[in-house]
Structure 1
């Protein structure tokens, strides 16, 4: 295959598994249409996101939670830095996660959400789209399971009460005083199992091919760009690729425009052990496979690498 696969989630899982699985193996990315996240819900979440980012800087910074690795609330411009990058990314963002009841066995791993009182519709819009993203991600994982020769429900218990995060991203117009070499998002791989991204139709997202060339990811309006994260690459012993990708700076008139996007980072449960699937480890090569590691430990290791923890 020479192109990133574009599939509709309305098709049978077996068809989705074939097309997406091959695309994930080669590119680490796929395009998903008819994904079931309603246009009205997306519009509400987008409007609430833009309303928050339009608030004064001091108001937004009141929602920055110290010592929590950016897991919830606001992370200001210039905070996150990709692994091995020399300068920070040109972005600001807000994180929405899962709320667990007090006393839940996994509650220690997940901070409670905070909600900006200045945007009354924010909480309901984000809770709604979080649930919709999760349902769509579950179907994509079912297709991936079939591609791997597993039962379609294989991943269901691995993500039940998982530490998934909805990120609301704002890339402001390019500042004139940006550090040399700074771009909107430096080359990186995602930490989680899979990422589902709304807003990628705006030019800028690129993936690094196996040939070492940068390839633009350009889904049609309203479609999702879906990519494999490092956790799933580790689980499949590299069969599915967590591809390096970036968001490059715009040119021309776009330099003056703000760019928004909404990635949903679907995570395993914190207590899930990421151990390479036996079917993905060739006979005699067990010693070369990654060591098992708990999802939470892997997450914290990576957050330290990107300067959030």
Structure 2
């Protein structure tokens, strides 16, 4: 049951855009179908379509109330109203070497070198509550840390565990196969994130080509994104290569598949390519607040292709890029911090090919997505 919590007030979302954007046609997994074996089989088939074609999909009826979600948005909003001087006390030691729990300030990347425009993305990452991580937070977070813990635990039991069960069913594996790689009590680099994109002027957006963040993939298993109506997220369809907008849907969360699942399935599960664009003109004047959860396999898990799946064997997905290259397959911990160190590189100029195609581990070069 949700824990008793102090008053936070109410959170009001901005109106959705009225522009006619080219929205992606994404599938929805209705978790009310989980109650029957037939329903689970149906959801597993739907999930396969999602992870093979788009990578992004919606989940509804996941047993977490909108009120609880709104409280997390409000907590994030109040955190970002904290003075910068206070937030900077929570920058992680070792940020330049890949540390990421705590506050990551804006301005580490140069988006447009002629004018010197830098990124305006701030993040606050809260790690797992399994005893492996210190929980020292600014006052507004600390006062509500029990609520954040309960929320994070609910995401695991109500959303992520069912997704892993459905993926196992789809791959003709025991239903708990992927659960064993994502045990909450074991150390992994999962985290809850409050994320703020501060707006640019219309003139600045033109200089940026109306793209705030280049196309990329996430490094873990699943990323959960809670509905917020400022349109900015775009995804690249794996089949057509087209970029389309992701529409905020009432009563849903948006999920994308990530690198670790792609490596574990030899590329059968595709890691979603996505980017952040400038919002449409009728939302260009507001900041964008995000609420996300990043799940990753346990740190000790080696990201070798699963050999037990009849589906992967039949369809020829038996090796990932590391295995094909003959290089050592990293553990999730090695993979996480190689990617994070690369992502956190300071004062990089966007479009620098030496950075964007850097080799971060033997057998793995990063990729550029428009």
Per the normalisation by structure 2, the TM-score is 0.73
Distance 2:283 2:211 in 1: 14
Partner of 1:97: 127
Q: Residue by residue, what CA displacement relative to the aligned partner does 1:103-143 show, whole Å, maximum 9, x if unpaired?
A: xxxx4xxx423221145543133212211211211111111
Distance 1:212 1:47 in 2: 36
Structure 2 residue 274 is the aligned partner of structure 1 residue 248 = no
Structure 2 residue 162 is the aligned partner of structure 1 residue 139 = yes
Mean alpha-carbon deviation: is it higher for 290-299 or for 63-72? 63-72
Please tell me the root mean square deviation across aligned C-alpha atoms, in Å.
2.7
Distance 2:142 2:317 in 1: 55
Contact persistence 2:231–2:248 (CA under 8 A) = no
Contact persistence 1:33–1:223 (CA under 8 A) = yes
Correspondence for 2:301 among 254, 272, 276: 272
Aligned-partner SS, 2:139: coil
Per the normalisation by structure 1, the TM-score is 0.86
Distance 2:333 2:223 in 1: 17
Task: Return the offset for 1:71.
Answer: 2.4
User: What is the number of equivalent residue pairs in this alignment?
Assistant: 297
Mean alpha-carbon deviation: is it higher for 192-201 or for 140-149? 192-201
Distance 2:151 2:284 in 1: 29
Task: Return the offset for 1:80.
Answer: 6.4
Matches within 5 A, 1:53-202: 53-68=80-95, 69-79=98-108, 89-101=119-131, 107=132, 111-119=133-141, 121-135=143-157, 136-160=159-183, 161=186, 162-174=188-200, 180=208, 183-202=211-230
Partner of 1:10: 32
Task: Return the offset for 1:78.
Answer: 2.2
Correspondence for 2:261 among 223, 232, 235: 232
Distance 2:122 2:49 in 1: 34
Q: Residue by residue, what CA displacement relative to the aligned partner does 1:70-93 show, whole Å, maximum 9, x if unpaired?
A: 4221111123689xxx98643111
Contact persistence 1:193–1:266 (CA under 8 A) = yes
Mean alpha-carbon deviation: is it higher for 118-127 or for 194-203? 118-127
Q: Residue by residue, what CA displacement relative to the aligned partner does 1:139-173 show, whole Å, maximum 9, x if unpaired?
A: 11111111111111111111113321111111112
* CA spacing shift, 1:285–1:185, aligned 2, 3 Å: closer
Q: Unpaired runs of 5+ in structure 1?
A: 102-106
Aligned-partner SS, 2:284: helix
- Whose radius of gyration is greater, 1 or 2? 2
